[in-house]
Structure 1
Amino acid sequence: MAVALTALVGIGGCSLWGGSSKPKPKELGPNVPVLPVRQAWTAKVGSLSGVQVDVHVLGSTITLASAGGEVAALDARTGGDIWRARLNTPLASGVGSDGRWTAVTTQSGQVVVLDGGREIWRKPLPAQAYTAPLVAGNRVFVLAADRSLSAFDAATGYRLWTQQRPGEPLILRQGGVLMAVGDTLVAGLSGRLVGFNPDNGVVRWEAPLASPRGTNDVERLVEIVGPTSRVGDSICARAFQATVGCVNAARGAVAWTQPANGSEGIHGDDTLLFGTESNGTVIAWRRADGSRAWSSERLQYRDLTAPLLLGRSVVIGDSTGLVHLLSREDAAPLNRLTTDGSAIAATPVVAGDTLVVVTRNGGVYGFRPD
């Protein structure tokens, strides 16, 4: 089994700053709400400390899980419960769901599947899994930390196939990439996006975004991290502390890559991509060729989430519980939202007309345009 690094981002941060403490975050100045937004509702789940948080959105339903094993489906219109389940085991990954079946992975190396909030099966995995399972086509796909990819029948838990891929000896304890693109299952393995036949696990194509570099295992670590930006057959993603780039998923061809030093995924549309670097710089790239459209140091040293592009805003959470709305055109501040003061735990998401953010203390907040 591969050895998991528990906090590579933190390790990288210390080496970047040349000491044990990071520079002081930049002062933000007064908030001027150019884009009026109001808090519509709040909800609560258990603590999210120690679990990889992915908020799953399907229509007006958001599904998420706490570190202690509570899984909740909430109505994004009201913040109210649709269902809750308590698995009574610590979790390792976020949630995958197709609206009926919901899947999570545990710290003990199992995948657990629920049907309408009721557990129906759990099965062992070759290793822990930090990437949220993908539930699609009546199957559950799991990308484990040893770079194995497994497919299970969603109704019964029967293992349909497993693909094992050798890689570097260290892995990143962080959510990666596992998604469906047409009839192809796309996973991030080391520094590559790999397309699989979902019926049997046969590889259809591989597209390298980054290659191992350096002289030791830590320096040579390269992984694709989520979230990604998909427009049609174009998938754009980040390789941890190495590059951002785009791939044509129909052909498995790399369109372009650009050097980038970030640890969180990216988001965007058919024109622009947005990402946060490890020092808090926010960057916009042109999707067509990867050239830089703008960069902003306004949020430097604030431990930022990956961004969400929402209308005219780029929405980013930070480690103090603030949610920043920046202009997609030039990063000018549009508004700043407050939560409970604990770090924003996951990339913000949108469900219907509601912006949803989740904090490490388990606060779930719904915001809407005023």
Structure 2
Amino acid sequence: MNFKRLMPESTALRAGSAIVLVALLAACSGTSKPKPAELPANPSLMGVRQSWTVKIPDVGFPLTTDVSGDTVTVAGSDGTVVAIDARAGRETWRGNAGAPLAAGVGSDGAMAAVVTTNNELVALQNGKVLWKQKLSAQAFTAPLVAGRRVFVQTADRSISAWDGQSGRRLWIQQRAGENLVLRKAGVLIAVGDTLVAGIGGRLVGINPANGTSRWESPIAAPRGTNDVERLVDLTGSVSRVGDSVCARAYYASVGCVETQRGALAWSKPAMGADGVSGDQSFVYGTETDGSVVAWRRTDGERAWQSTRFKNRELTSPLAVGRSLIIGENTGTLHFVSREDGALLNRVTPDGSAITVAPVLAGNTVVIVTAKGGVFGYRPE
């Protein structure tokens, strides 16, 4: 197993509580990877049209593509941040945070925020840096920009709020750190007037005005006898329909929480590493063995499971129209049926790995590749 040790750069971290970051538990085994399933001929059962493309530097960090109205904000590993009008693929602005990135991007359509590998929170507007602030630890979850504030979750489990214009810290909520956390993007979203964050295996509702907790709901609980076995973190994209928020606990479960009351609706075992997508009827996810799964949103029972991509490394899916759109580390973008996972079409944007979850802006599906290709597609 490969661990990377993060040495604390601030006395805000407790003495002796160095954070260990797990890149991927699945890599623990020394055995060779199983052979990926052969793909059938492309059936081309639905039309997919490439509308535009934009180039950014290579993407090698856990990028979260931000969508605010028709504006899509992306970033490259070198610190480049670009806002794009998804209707025409036109750059609105391009700037640079001044250092390589560890997390991002968060945006409200006007201001964007990222975190650098130097543990700096950087806010940009119209391509210019507004301000920078030092954080207590590294961050891998994209900042959330909402209500003229910037919210940040760091690897020491702290959550903080910063004034969007001045960069002044407004509050910080600190929790007991854990020996192991994931080197992956977690959960930090706004639901109504509540800031909802993933802390360990729980969704936590926070008052955005002062940082006090309103409720906590466990999607997964730590198990096992050592730190590795007990590692539980919520990771990746979530599915929100009204007050219902569904999320994945890394290698443990998928579950849904009613955020109005903070009540767990259901939690089911699942072996996946990336987030989920969904609609009013189903929650969709990809498992680490390449399976694509649909759970019923009402009770979490499995509606269907497809093994067509067995042993392939997939992104979390995006539900659009009659299809789920899934990226693969081979560079292929798959379009499958939301009804049963049947293959509908596939395209290859630029041949480099697709590890960033697809997003939807208006009627445009936006894909980001490892080589920094940003592509806008319009499915039929």
Instruction: Indicate yes or no: 2:37 matched with 1:37.
Output: no
Instruction: Indicate yes or no: 2:38 matched with 1:27.
Output: yes
Could you say what secondary structure the match of 1:93 adopts? strand
CA-to-aligned-CA distance 1:250-302 (integer Å, 9 cap, x gap): 10110110000100000101101100011111100000000000001101221
Could you say what secondary structure the match of 1:95 adopts? strand
Aligned residues: 364
Instruction: Indicate yes or no: 2:352 matched with 1:325.
Output: no
Q: TM-score, normalised by structure 1?
A: 0.96
**Counterparts of 2:203 and 2:28, CA distance in 1:** 29
CA-to-aligned-CA distance 1:141-177 (integer Å, 9 cap, x gap): 0000100000000000110000011142111011100
Match of 1:197 in 2: 207
**Counterparts of 1:33 and 1:79, CA distance in 2:** 25
Instruction: Indicate yes or no: 2:112 matched with 1:102.
Output: yes
Deviation at 1:352, TM superposition (A): 1.3
Q: More deviation in 212-221 or 262-271?
A: 212-221
Mapped contact 1:13–1:22 kept (Cα < 8 A): no
Unaligned runs of 5+ in 2: 1-12
Deviation at 1:94, TM superposition (A): 1.8
Mapped contact 2:94–2:126 kept (Cα < 8 A): no
Deviation at 1:79, TM superposition (A): 1.9
Match of 1:75 in 2: 85
Unaligned runs of 5+ in 1: none
Please list, as runs of the form range in 1=range in 2, the aligned pairs for 1:1-370 lying within 5 A after superposition: 1=13, 2-7=18-23, 9=24, 11-15=25-29, 19-49=30-60, 51-369=61-379
Sequence identity (%): 56
Mapped contact 1:167–1:190 kept (Cα < 8 A): no
Deviation at 1:369, TM superposition (A): 3.0
**Counterparts of 1:318 and 1:218, CA distance in 2:** 27
**Counterparts of 1:119 and 1:358, CA distance in 2:** 23
Deviation at 1:86, TM superposition (A): 1.9
Mapped contact 1:13–1:278 kept (Cα < 8 A): no
CA-to-aligned-CA distance 1:295-328 (integer Å, 9 cap, x gap): 0110122110011000110110001110111100
Deviation at 1:6, TM superposition (A): 5.0
* Partner amino acid, structure 1, of 2:44: P
Provide runs of 4+ in structure 1 moved above 6 Å: none
**Counterparts of 1:306 and 1:362, CA distance in 2:** 19
**Counterparts of 2:130 and 2:316, CA distance in 1:** 33
**Counterparts of 1:338 and 1:80, CA distance in 2:** 22
Mapped contact 1:48–1:345 kept (Cα < 8 A): no
Could you say what secondary structure the match of 1:343 adopts? coil
Q: TM-score, normalised by structure 2?
A: 0.94
Deviation at 1:116, TM superposition (A): 2.0
Mapped contact 1:58–1:98 kept (Cα < 8 A): yes
